[in-house]
Amino acid sequence: MERRRWFLTHNYQHTLALAFAVKEINEHSGILPNITLGFHITTDNSLESTTYLLAMELLSTRDRFIPNYKCDIQNSAVAVIGGPQRKTCLNMAIILNNYKFPQITYGSAPIMNNEADAGFFSWMFPNEVHQFNGILHLLLQFGWTWVGIVSMDEESKQRFIQKWIPKFSEKGICFDFLECINQMKYGNEAAEMIEETDKVYQVIMGSTVSAVILKGEIWTIMTLRIMIYLLDSEDIPKEKKSKIWIMTGQMEFTAIQMQRQLPIDFLHGALSFAIHSKELTRFQQFMQERNPNIDKEDGFIRDFWKDVFECSFSSDVTDENAESVCTGEEKLEILPNSVFDTTMNGHSYSVYNAVYAVAHALRAMHSSKLKEIQIMDERRSSWQLHYFLQRIFFNNSVGEEVSFGPNGELVTGFDILNWVTFPNKSFQRVQVGKIDPMASPDKLLTISAKDAVWPLIFNQEINEKTLMLANITLGILISDSYFTARGTTFASIELLSTQDRLIPNYKCDVKDMATSVIAGPNSHICSFMSNILNIYKMPQLLYGPAPQKEDNIHALFFHQVFPDQSIEIKGILSLLLYLKWKWIGLVFQRTESGERFVKNAVTTFPQKGVCFEFMEQLAMETFSDDILVTFRELIKMFVVIMNGTSNVVILHCENQVTVIFRMFPYASDFEEIPIQRKDKVWIMTAQMEFTSLSFQRMRGMDFFHGAISFAVSSKEISGFKHFVQTRKPTAEKEDHLTRLFWEQAFLCSFPSLDKDIEIMCTGEENLESLPNAIFDTTMTGQSYSIYNAVYAVGNALRAVLSPRFKYKVRAANERLVTVNQEAWQFVHKESVPGVYLLLKMLLFMTVMTALLPDIVCHISPRSTTCSMGKLHLIKHKYYHSGDLIIAGIMPQSYMMSESMKFKKHPSEELINDFMYRNIGLKCDAGDCSQCSDNQYPNKAQNRCILKRIIFLSYKEPLGITLTSVAFFCSVISAMVLGIFIKYQDTPIVKANNRNLTYVLLIALLLSFLCTLLFIGQPDQVKCLMRQTAFSIFFSVALSCMLGKTTIVVLAFMATKPGSQIRKWVGKRLAISIVLACSLLQIMICVGWLTISPPFADSDMHSMPEEIVLECNEGSTTMFYTVLGFLGLLTAISFTVAFFARKLPDSFNEAKFITFSMLVFCSVWISFVPTYLSTKGKYTVAVEIFSILASAAGLLCCIFSPKCYIIFLRPDLNKKEQLIKR
């Protein structure tokens, strides 16, 4: 690699992509066998003269500049990969096309004066027609019909005007401006460039357009950063500065060293058409391993290293004032991607594919025998390569197809990326859509608007969606009810009045007329509000429990963006029953919602055996004037709770009640009442969220550790967290709540004449530094409900204003869809049939306490999905009291055996006897509930105990014994097989059909080993293999004995004079018998596995105190069919052997086969009744014993006499003995 003057640090990734691709190809011998690729990299610094020089140098001997004279053939270049700038590729092509030199550009194609010049050009870039068609569809989809365009050179601008302006105009898209920005210049030309750029900047920022198309090159963003931040003007309003930049695929993020400290937030929300790319895992590792001390041949790396890490190497003579020294051990991954991006971008991916394209073309060229390409000698010229480049088609290392179209362009589409920037000057590009040129015209563009993040000025999402509310802007007015009826009533009447005067029914400022009210979360607050607003038929969306209205007419005007409370009650009951918590307490608030909850709970809970030890009420107005009286009542209630014997307490309260409960542990500090604190499991309903007052921020929250909370289902909204984190009290002048929140959250004050300030708020404090006990930056369930409520209003307004809206009354069951595509529906009483989440609260004892909810359940009207293993049984030591077991559920992985000891987590002791522990039933429920299938009752019949899980294990004595016997018999079989192979030429081995003997011994060996599939915990693979393997191996063994016996009988019969049977005697008959019988059994097994295969199952009923893990045979009929076929083979073999038992002594193997069949039959006849009468794991043991016994009987009866003769009576192992009569 060669370094020329300077280059952009972001482009260094392009060189690494090339080097990585060459390295991969050279290491993969299958692509270019006996050929090694090399490369030479240089930069033209965006100068025409340098481009010409490099092109001429390529055509010359490297040591001397003589075009057309290149004697170093072994280093001859076969292709040039250039780019990404169009101008660079054009200058390069002017010279190289004369020499028919193949060129692949990874930028857009240059404009050629004639088609002949384009003949040797290919480009790793999709057809630009697809890009501009995609931009047109994008503008139409979002309703951006008033736009501007900025081009990077005059030629490109004129081409766009001639080719695309008419097409855009036909679709109703107009352009406010078409400007041109030249490439950044230095030296004497810099001042002139800045002056020209200033004029363009004023035009762009002074325009009323929201969307600006950037038809740029790779250096465009670098120029824009200078333009925006050096030429920024206070005269331009903020809303005009915020533009949606739509960038073409040639652009990438680039920067020079002086721009490192410049912000990049102008790119926030931009949309970029990008060359499709995929991340290469090995490329990440390749980049991270770069080291300037090791990679000596890399001519760019040292200068790159100095630029990005702002350091200097000790060996450099210059840079004496350098603040730091480069060690070479710096890590690239710590750099923000505005300095260097370690993820593979589109241009690098194109370079990678271009190298592979050259390699595949070379491979095709060297292996081609096409007549059209006449090659005079073994040396191929570079111009011939282009023929194969045009026709390549291959899949790269990540499986994507790469090929060129008829005009030399890459056959692919574009990705649409959304840019998200962060305060630390880093960014992230998220794919939100794509352009698919192969799709139908109406599906050319696919984009997910819900996943896109827009510029900050557009963060009021509905207002930015012109397709949702065209020519309408939503506004908001927020009022605080202070949790009181008086505050709620006042805010409701104020809404119906002119804002300056409290006169209901008189509202002359129609432009600010409210269309709906979003209120909550407290149910009684919503009730006070609805009493007034229902009279005026004002739509109300409640993100808390809705008040119950007897008047159905008034109830039509409020909609509940909150799941039905009956679902929550069923969920709580299911949780209590699942965890066997049947002795509980209840604390509820004296509201209509709380009384309704108690009424339903008292009716349904005792029917299932759940009883209440106490029911305590909280006053509705917890923040009343007589705070001392209220606090004393709370202390009495706290004493009742702590003195209770129930370990579980349900809290059905409003949002602010957690403030009260946080004071409970410190009650004894204020009242002289001895209170022994006991830890409880708190089950909190969905309308409760964690809240606290300023003086409580230093108080611990361990009181709620391990609590279980029902919560409204929510999802993280893309862009919401960024929106929250960028709130500044100094910038949000119209947001009066932000300053008040800021002072309380950060314990500071803004400058004021009325008070002394200890700590001053700067407005630059970071919300992320706050613990979530003070402020949570993630979206909560209630915030998510508000978000959906706003979208409901937006969709309803759009429907009302639609010309197709014929009837001005919306049906109660009409469906509304939010931009997040989560369909939710207003149904009976306008409640949302939504989903509850069951959360587990984890609290951390630090200086500033923090809370971490963990989702363990999804509860919906149709189904409940839980990961109950996430709830741990914990023994926790608190600061203020002794030990308490926080009741929960044992993780499933810990419920395998009664004897397991849980000592893995010393800070959280898992209770070993969980499955024998239960909360006693302290009431007469009137009936007994039956234990579930995985439980059995104790002797007293008052508790259910979890059944033990059992199976035939390798670790128990029976399993060890059977395994040992199987291995022993296998070894014996192998030894006998070895003996027969060693003595294969002896008469006794040859006389008894040597080949069948080998097959029989191998079948017996595999029969012994297949019993191992019956031992251990059953799984799907074992269940499928165990019966089929056993039946096939035994079928082979039995068919071998049938073949042996048949050959014996036929051989005796063939000795008679004139017998025609002699032609049947031979090896072919024996092989045919074995193959026919074995194939028939295999066909039966295949049918079994196809129709009703065995599967892993659990038997919960045969054993009263145990769950047996077993293999269900699937089809009992097929199982006994397999056994029946084995019985048939046994019967036939026994019959033939029995009739052949009186043959002369030289053929007496039939006697042994007869005896072995008797043993075999006796084993399997006794197997059937024994198998049917045993239970549990012993059923498997019976089958294993039958297999081992029958196989061992065959082995001993047939082969022990032969081994006896071979070792102890070798005198009988002679030919003379065999022909005796």
Convert 1033-1086 into a string of H (helix), E (strand) and C (coil).
Answer: HHHHHHHHHHHHHHHHHHHHHHCCCCCCHHHHCCHHHHHHHHHHHHHHHHHHHH
Prior bond of 1144 cis (ω within 30°): no
More confident residue, 1052 or 1110: 1110
Residue 518 bridge partners (DSSP) = 541
**Under DSSP, is residue 1107 helix (H, G, I), strand (E, B) or coil?**
strand
Per-residue confidence band for 585, with pLDDT thresholds at 50, 70 and 90:
very high
**Among 836, 837, 826, residue whose Cα is nearest residue 567:** 836
Dist CA 786 CA 784 (whole Å): 5
Identify whether the C-beta of residue 1000 lies closer than 8 Å to the C-beta of residue 1039.
no
Give the Cβ contact number of residue 314 at 10 Å.
10
More confident residue, 213 or 110: 213
Q: Is the pLDDT of residue 589 over 90?
A: no
What pLDDT, in 10s, does the model give residues 678-711?
778 888 887 777 666 666 666 656 667 778 888 7
More confident residue, 538 or 233: 538
Compute the half-sphere exposure of residue 631: CA atoms within 13 Å on the CB side of its CA.
14
Q: Is the pLDDT of residue 896 over 70?
A: no
Q: What's the residue count for the chain?
A: 1221
**Range 561-576 average pLDDT:** 80
**Pair of tokens at residue 1094:** 């065995």
* Highest-pLDDT range among 141-145, 753-757, 1083-1087: 1083-1087
- From 99-108, 865-874, 1141-1150, the region with the lowest mean pLDDT: 865-874
pLDDT of residue 96: 73
Q: Is the pLDDT of residue 514 over 60?
A: yes
* Highest-pLDDT range among 867-881, 967-981, 1136-1150: 967-981
Quick check: pTM over 0.75? Answer: no
**Range 51-55 average pLDDT:** 69
CA-CA distances (angstroms) from residue 1035 to 238, 939, 1007, 1128, 1185? 86, 50, 10, 10, 18
**Under DSSP, is residue 23 helix (H, G, I), strand (E, B) or coil?**
helix
Q: Is the pLDDT of residue 151 over 60?
A: yes
**Among 546, 522, 531, 694, residue whose Cα is nearest residue 622:** 522
**Range 257-286 average pLDDT:** 80
* Highest-pLDDT range among 164-178, 510-524, 1160-1174: 164-178
Per-residue confidence band for 893, with pLDDT thresholds at 50, 70 and 90:
very low
Dist CA 720 CA 453 (whole Å): 9
**Among 870, 913, 909, residue whose Cα is nearest residue 893:** 870
Q: E strand or H helix at 151, and its extent?
A: strand 146-151
> In angstroms, how far is CA 1201 from the centroid of its own chain?
65
pLDDT of residue 1021: 87
Dist CA 416 CA 446 (whole Å): 9
Q: What angle do CA 625, 628, 633 make, to 5 degrees?
A: 110
Identify whether the C-beta of residue 386 lies closer than 8 Å to the C-beta of residue 97.
no
First-to-last alpha carbon distance for the chain, in angstroms, is 93
DSSP 510: G
Dist CA 226 CA 197 (whole Å): 10
More confident residue, 868 or 1002: 1002
Give the Cβ contact number of residue 95 at 10 Å.
18
**Range 961-990 average pLDDT:** 89
Dist CA 960 CA 64 (whole Å): 82
Dihedral of CA atoms 482, 487, 489, 495 in degrees, nearest 10, equals: -90
Which residue type occupies 439? A
pLDDT of residue 965: 92
Question: What DSSP string describes 275-290?
Answer: E-----HHHHHHHHT-
Dist CA 56 CA 95 (whole Å): 7
| Packed helices 1149-1173 and 1116-1139: angle between N→C axes, nearest 10 degrees | 150
Strands 708-712 and 681-684: parallel
Residues 6+ apart with CB under 8 A from 1000: 1036, 1037, 1040, 1041, 1044, 1194, 1198
Strands 146-151 and 174-180: parallel
More confident residue, 421 or 676: 421
Dist CA 876 CA 258 (whole Å): 55
Give the Cβ contact number of residue 1010 at 10 Å.
23
Per residue, the 3-state secondary structure of 432-487, as one string, reads EEEECCCCCHHHCEEECHHHCCCCHHHCCHHHHCCCCCCCCCCCCCCCCCCCCHHH
Residues 6+ apart with CB under 8 A from 882: none
Per-residue confidence band for 26, with pLDDT thresholds at 50, 70 and 90:
confident
Quote the mean pLDDT of the chain: 73
Q: Which residue has the tokens 């006994």?
A: 1120
Give the Cβ contact number of residue 720 at 10 Å.
18
Prior bond of 803 cis (ω within 30°): no
- From 449-458, 527-536, 1171-1180, the region with the lowest mean pLDDT: 449-458
Strands 174-180 and 121-123: unpaired
Dist CA 1197 CA 1187 (whole Å): 16
Identify whether the C-beta of residue 450 lies closer than 8 Å to the C-beta of residue 791.
no
Compute the half-sphere exposure of residue 190: CA atoms within 13 Å on the CB side of its CA.
5
Q: Which residue has the tokens 């919960």?
A: 1100
Per residue, the 3-state secondary structure of 563-582, as one string, reads ECHHHHHHHHHHHHHHHCCC
pLDDT of residue 3: 41
pLDDT of residue 63: 54
**Pair of tokens at residue 799:** 């429907």
Give the Cβ contact number of residue 2 at 10 Å.
10
Dist CA 1116 CA 664 (whole Å): 64
**Pair of tokens at residue 741:** 């929140």
More confident residue, 4 or 216: 216
What pLDDT, in 10s, does the model give residues 303-352?
888 888 888 887 765 555 556 888 888 888 888 777 888 888 888 888 88
pLDDT of residue 755: 66
Identify whether the C-beta of residue 92 lies closer than 8 Å to the C-beta of residue 53.
no
Dist CA 78 CA 39 (whole Å): 10
Per-residue confidence band for 620, with pLDDT thresholds at 50, 70 and 90:
low
Q: Which domains does the chain have, with CATH numbers?
A: 9-123+340-411 (3.40.50.2300), 128-276+415-447 (3.40.50.2300), 466-562+779-808+871-895 (no CATH), 565-709 (3.40.50.2300), 720-778 (no CATH), 902-946 (no CATH), 957-1212 (1.20.1070.10)
DSSP 409: B
Dist CA 912 CA 903 (whole Å): 9
| Dihedral angle sign, alpha carbons of residues 1014, 1020, 1026, 1027 | positive
Strands 648-652 and 681-684: parallel
Per-residue confidence band for 1083, with pLDDT thresholds at 50, 70 and 90:
very high
**Range 854-860 average pLDDT:** 51
Dist CA 742 CA 754 (whole Å): 18
Q: Is the pLDDT of residue 379 over 70?
A: no
Q: E strand or H helix at 1184, and its extent?
A: helix 1178-1207
Q: What angle do CA 969, 974, 977 make, to 5 degrees?
A: 125
Give the Cβ contact number of residue 669 at 10 Å.
7
Q: E strand or H helix at 975, and its extent?
A: helix 957-982
More confident residue, 836 or 201: 201
Dist CA 521 CA 525 (whole Å): 8
